[in-house]
């Protein structure tokens, strides 16, 4: 009997490899994101903590590690998320909806090797739509990506699987150090003038590049691609 391909599922529940806290990884197949197109999104979440409170309290370290875009812990009752948070992921939209659906028991288990392989089969996979993939055991990603069409992945933890993930760089100096070590980077820049044209290209799916394509078609954001690094103007 051939199992039917799922459109969503829980691909991991267990300790974070960053600090041991209980986390969960939810995969959902969706084309609602204008920039990415139709891809399998993977959300790395704290199992028992509302993503907004995780941000505000600093508990998101368990899933995001030392990413500088997390913002600052705050006790301000008027704030819902961290102060000065720069991350592009809106915690009050897709991330929150996925976490609430998980708590309601909406998603089926897909934690076996065959389930993970089938979930990623012939699909474009976004590794870490929210959260850092380094928080998750590597075999989870290896299985999910083994029969996929292609994938995109980034990490702030270093070094972590340069064959899978691009390194998220917080500065030009940091990016240059990765380039010298043969690693590709993804870097947020203040304006197009900061682009290093010798080593980087502007994200083709970005507004500044004229929305030339979508991530599902571009396929440049993976560590193993032989291409220049990617930069995007920070919004």
Per-residue pLDDT averaged across 119-137, rounded?
Answer: 96
Instruction: Check pLDDT > 80 for residue 165.
Output: yes
Q: Is the dihedral of CA 191, 90, 30, 17 positive or negative?
A: positive
What is the predicted pLDDT for the residue at 213? Answer: 86
The model's pLDDT over 180-200, given as tens digits with 9 standing for 90+, comes to 999 999 999 999 999 999 999
Q: What is the largest CA-CA distance in the chain?
A: 56
Average pLDDT, the chain: 93
pLDDT at 1 (0 to 100) = 38
Q: Dihedral sign, CA of 200, 203, 208, 210?
A: positive
Among residues 151, 108, 96, 97, the alpha carbon closest in space to that of 128 is found at: 151
Sequence-ordered list of residues with C-beta below 8 angstroms from that of 151, at least 6 positions apart, any chain: 124, 125, 126, 127, 145, 164, 222
pLDDT reading at 28 higher than 80: yes
Residues in the chain: 235
* Distance from C-alpha of 141 to C-alpha of 134, rounded to nearest angstrom: 10
* Structure confidence by residue, pLDDT tens digits, 191-224: 999 999 999 999 998 888 888 888 888 889 988 7
Quick one: what percent of the chain has pLDDT higher than 90? 80
Q: What is the pLDDT of residue 77?
A: 92
Task: Using the predicted structure, report yes or no on whether residue 2 has a pLDDT greater than 60.
Answer: no
């Amino acid at each position: 009997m051939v199992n039917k391909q799922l459109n969503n599922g829980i691909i991991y529940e267990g300790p974070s490899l960053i600090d041991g806290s209980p986390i969960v990884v939810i995969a959902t197949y969706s084309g609602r994101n204008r920039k990415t197109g139709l891809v399998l999104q993977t959300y790395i979440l704290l199992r028992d903590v509302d993503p907004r409170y995780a941000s505000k309290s600093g508990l998101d370290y368990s899933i995001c590690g030392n990413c500088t875009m997390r913002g600052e812990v705050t006790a301000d009752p008027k704030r819902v998320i961290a102060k000065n948070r720069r991350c592009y992921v809106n915690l009050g939209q897709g991330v929150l909806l996925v976490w609430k659906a998980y708590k309601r028991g909406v998603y089926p288990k897909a934690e076996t090797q065959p389930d993970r392989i089938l979930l990623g089969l012939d699909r474009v996979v976004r590794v870490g739509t929210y959260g850092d993939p380094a928080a998750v055991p590597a075999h989870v990603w290896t299985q999910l990506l083994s029969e996929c069409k292609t994938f995109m992945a980034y990490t702030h933890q270093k070094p972590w699987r340069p064959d899978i993930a691009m390194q998220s760089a917080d500065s030009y100096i940091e990016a240059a150090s990765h380039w010298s070590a043969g690693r590709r980077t993804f870097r947020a820049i203040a304006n197009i003038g900061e682009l290093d044209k010798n080593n980087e290209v502007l994200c083709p799916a970005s507004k500044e590049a004229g929305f030339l394509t979508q991530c599902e078609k571009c396929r440049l954001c993976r560590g193993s691609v032989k291409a220049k690094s990617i930069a995007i103007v920070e919004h």
